[in-house]
Amino acid sequence: MTRKVVFLRSKSHGGVEPRIDKEARTLVAAGYEVHVILWDRELAHPAEETRSGYAIHRVHLRAPEGRAGLLLKMPRWWRAARRRVLSLRPDVIHAVDLDSLIPALRANRTAGAKVVYDIFDFYGPMIARRIPRPIRSYLMKLEQRSALKADLVILPDRSRAEFFGEHPPRKIVEVMNVPEDRPVPHRRSDRFTVFYGGQIAQDRGIPELVRACEQSGARLIVAGHGPDEARLIPIVESSPVAEFLGNVSYDEVLRQTASADSIAALYDPSIPNNRKASPNKLFEAMMLAKPILTNEGTGLGDLVKREGLGELVRYGDLESVRTGLERLMLSPQACAEMGARGRRLYET
């Protein structure tokens, strides 16, 4: 009898996120029946879809991104997710992040399945700037306790296990955010182009990146969505050197990465999750041999410095960002060497 795995994810970015797609296809190839339940907050995708051998079921419930109104919709997502899981009667429930682990554990009281907890980001630290400290502390403790109930915990970087302190889950495995190697069509510009694809959030250094590109003459392409769109998108769209593409597909992210001269990955190191970030864009840049513009004070910055993969700057310091960008612009040979080192590291 074919064993059944059901993924739960409270988002539906680009239809389905690349990490979930990769994990689902891997399970399909291994002979599992795979279903993915997603929360489509923008009603942007079909309720039912089949992709690469697995089924996608979307809960159509409109909700604001990154605002208090989202929390009010959470119980409805939990109820809908629990009902869908129970209707599918899985052998394994694969929950992504805390807001999907909660309904997974509730459903499992009836389903009796194994529970896999896949942590893309720790929940409390991820929303640290948008909630009061007592609520953040409660969420962190809730996540630590809830993770202990999972049969398996997946982390993108094993160093993040320190989040659990003296009482980690009994079984933790590392699955890095490494994309599958593939040829990517692209178009190169005569003008030095920087690409940022990711969360539109105030902890990603977007205003400084825009100003640095304006002052240096570089072109900036931005794609993604997130909680601070209302404040940050006008900054991008009002700049004569920047273009905002919106929330694009993963294939388009790869095309823009391949077409760019450098990839921006700035993370405010005062945010705990950012200090441990192991973002897709790092591995995409390495796969496509692109130098990275990032900042000090994070594990990503340490890796880029140690392996010679790009330029390090000080987060929030416009002059430092501009200087780092100009060093890349004025050194095409160094950029090529940085990209080549990244590619060799990707291949290993």
**The pLDDT value given to residue 129:** 64
pTM, to two decimals: 0.87
Contact 23, 152 (CB under 8 A): no
Helices 206-216 and 318-329 cross at an angle (nearest 10°) of 50
> In this structure, which long-range contacts are made by residues 331-335, counting pairs with CB atoms below 8 Å and at least 24 apart in sequence?
334/291, 335/261, 335/262, 335/291
Spell out, as residue ranges, where the chain has pLDDT lower than 50.
Answer: none
Domain residue ranges in the chain: 4-174, 193-347
Give the per-residue pLDDT at 70.
82
**Tokens at 170, concatenated:** 């009994």
End-to-end CA distance of the chain: 37
Q: Residue 67 has what pLDDT?
A: 67
The reply to whether 193-347 shares the fold of 4-174 is yes
Could you read off the pLDDT of 170-193 as tens digits, one per residue?
999 999 889 999 999 988 889 999
Other Cβ atoms within 10 Å of 165 Cβ, number: 8
Superfamily of domain 193-347: Glycogen Phosphorylase B; (3.40.50.2000)
- pLDDT number for residue 31: 98
Rounded CA-CA distance 259/264 in Å is 13
Do 335 and 291 contact (CB within 8 A), yes or no? yes
Q: For 4-174, which CATH superfamily applies?
A: Glycogen Phosphorylase B; (3.40.50.2000)
pLDDT score, position 68: 65
Give 308-327 pLDDT, tens digit per residue: 999 999 999 999 999 999 99
CA distance 218 to 210: 9
